Structure formats: structure tokens, C-alpha cells
Amino acid sequence: MSYMSGRPVRPSGSGNPKRTMTAQLRALGNTVAVLATIAMVLLVAFVWMVTAINKQKKSNKAADTSATTSSSVVQADSSSETSDTLPPETTPESTPEAAHASFPEGTKLIALTFDDGPDKYTSQVLDALERNGVKATFYVIGSNVAGTDAAVFQRMLDLGCEIGNHTWSHVSLRDSEYDVAYNELKKCDDALMEKIGQKATTIRPPTGQGLAQDALFQYSKDNHEYVVNWDDVSCPADWQKPALGDPDYTAQFVIDNASDGTMVLLHDSHQSTADSLDKMIAGLKEKGYTFVTVTELLEARSASMGLTVDKALSLGWKQELLEEAYPGGPVYGVRYAYSAGKMMFEKRS
Ligand SMILES: [Zn+2]
């Protein structure tokens, strides 16, 4: 029978019974439907994949911005290194520059930092920041963290501030054994974890010393935390006279000596510092500064990453600082050029 013969179906198969043809047409229809369904599924899968890839790209970019991984930093390094000479291979959206597009070219950035707290005047400092609508970075001491109400840290975060690691007991990392230094850093983060469920994003070694301490680099590497110091030129030295006890002097010193990319060292343990902030912030705003956290500052200035010793020296980095930080080796991970006394270090890769 023709039904069994397997001959191709023809629209007007004169020899076939009508019923058989209908069945064949139905079978054909079913096949088309199945194929259409498969095509549909493939299309949906493709769209989903493209969306997922785009999401991944965006989240990578976000990771770059928040500087949570060392690998993202290394990638940013190489792309910014080559961007001087080669046309960018990536889309504008994925370049490090675009990731910092929130700061238009020519924006002057400044990061106020408060060390050694939380202390007596931390709330007053936060009041001033809130009143003036700006944010800052707090390098806290772990043992102080343990004795401070969690609400203080929550308020910092609510105001857009960042919390940095200033060790557990403000020891000199330079003079500490490896294990002691490592534990000092860890205990500060542990205290923050217990208090607010998150660790610091950057580390500032007490007194700024100990950059050559291996434990500092190992800890920063293990925990994706940057190591930074501050800008000597704009630092009013608020712990001693003439700044100590003189809010006007403190404010004016910072206003007069700040430059683009400045990281200002202050302490929330002095009333005169807390009292200086309204005037200081107003003066800096008048000069066109945008207030950022330390991580934002580092990210916004990533173009100068990937320096070698020679390049760093040509940019004016101090030889002795380089030697202390990276004895004998290349300056991988230097985040920022020395300029007007700025000293910042990224974790060594
Ligand atoms: Zn300190």
C-alpha cells in the first residue's frame, strides 16, 4: 500500500486515500511544530546566554570599580599600560576609564580620611559630613571598634563613607614580627566583621611605617585590601600645634595645600579637627573639589597604575620610600604616582 511505501507526500496524490494524506499532512504539521519549538528554545537560550554574558561583563566592571579582586586590578593595569600607544581593543564600556565615568574629566577629587577612631569626636565628624553632604574614609583601630556601638559604623556606611583597617592596637608594623603584624591586621577586620558584617576595603599602617613588612602585603593580598598612606603636603598635622586646638588653622591649611587627588590625613580624636570641618569642606567645595572615598580615589586614578621603579622615580616618587616598600624589586601594584607628596600603594601581585 502506498501508505506503507514511504513515498513522499504529494499535494494531489491521486492514488492515495484521503485519510492517509490527511494523516501525512498532520504528521508534517507536527514535524514543523516540533522544529519551530526547537528553534524557539534555541533562540530563547541564545538570548539568555547573551544577556548572561553582558551581565557578567557588567559585574566584572563593577568588581573593577570596587576593587575587590587582585586579578581585576592586574587587568586594569595592562589595559591602562597599553592605552597610551595602542587603540583600545575593547568597547568603550569595558575600559577602566569608562568605569570611572562618574567623574568627568577635569574633576578635582579629594579624600578626607580620619584615623585612630572611633573616638570621642567621631559623631561630631559624622554630623559635619552629613551637614555638608560629603563622605570620608575612617581608618579604625580594631580595639576601638570592639567597644563602639554598631550604629556608629552603620551611620558611616549610610553616609557613603568607607571603613579602613588601622590594625587592632595601632602597633608599628615596621617593628613587628610577621605573625604579630598579620594578626594585628586580621583582628581589626575580625572586629569589623563582628560589628557590621564586613571587612575593611583598604589598610593604612599606623604612623605610615612598615610598608616593607611582608605580612602587610600578604594580608592585603589575602583580603583584597589596598595599602595606602596619605598626602604629606596637605596634612595639617592635627595632633600637634599649631593645628591642634585651632580649627581655623586646620581648615585653612588643608584648603591652601590640597591638590587634585589629595588624601588628607585627619583624626577624629581631636575636637579642633571636628570643629574645622565646616570651614574646610566649604573652602574645598569653593575650589571645586568633589569628595570621594579612598577606594573611589584609587579607582579614578588607575591610569597611573603599573609603574616600574624607573617610571615611579621619573614621576618624583621618593627613592627611600620605594626602597622601603619594594626592596630591590619592580614596583608592581603601585597605584598612584607620587605627586605633591601623595603616597599610595596597592597590594603587590
Ligand atoms: Zn594612626
Residue range 139-161, pLDDT digits in tens: 999 999 999 999 999 999 999 99
| pLDDT at residue 131 is higher than 80 | yes
pLDDT attached to residue 3: 38
Interval between CA 223 and ligand 1 midpoint (Å): 21
- Domain boundaries in the chain? 108-345
% of the chain exceeding 70 in pLDDT: 58
Is residue 115 part of the annotated active site? The answer reads yes
Interval between CA 207 and ligand 1 midpoint (Å): 6
* Residues 337, 60: Cα–Cα separation, whole Å: 25
pLDDT attached to residue 317: 53
Q: Which CATH superfamily is domain 108-345 in?
A: Glycoside hydrolase/deacetylase (3.20.20.370)
Residues with CB under 5 A from ligand 1 (ion): 115-116, 206
CB-based burial of residue 202 (10 Å sphere; 0-12 exposed, 13-18 middle, 19+ buried)? buried
| pLDDT at residue 286 is higher than 50 | yes
Residue range 167-224, pLDDT digits in tens: 999 999 888 999 999 999 999 999 999 999 999 988 888 987 776 677 887 887 788 6
pLDDT attached to residue 220: 78
Query: Mean pLDDT, to the nearest integer, of 111-121?
Result: 96
Residue range 238-254, pLDDT digits in tens: 999 999 999 999 999 99
CB-based burial of residue 207 (10 Å sphere; 0-12 exposed, 13-18 middle, 19+ buried)? middle
Q: Exactly one of 267, 268, 270, 275 is catalytic; which is it? A: 267
Interval between CA 338 and ligand 1 midpoint (Å): 21
Q: Exactly one of 64, 115, 119, 275 is catalytic; which is it? A: 115
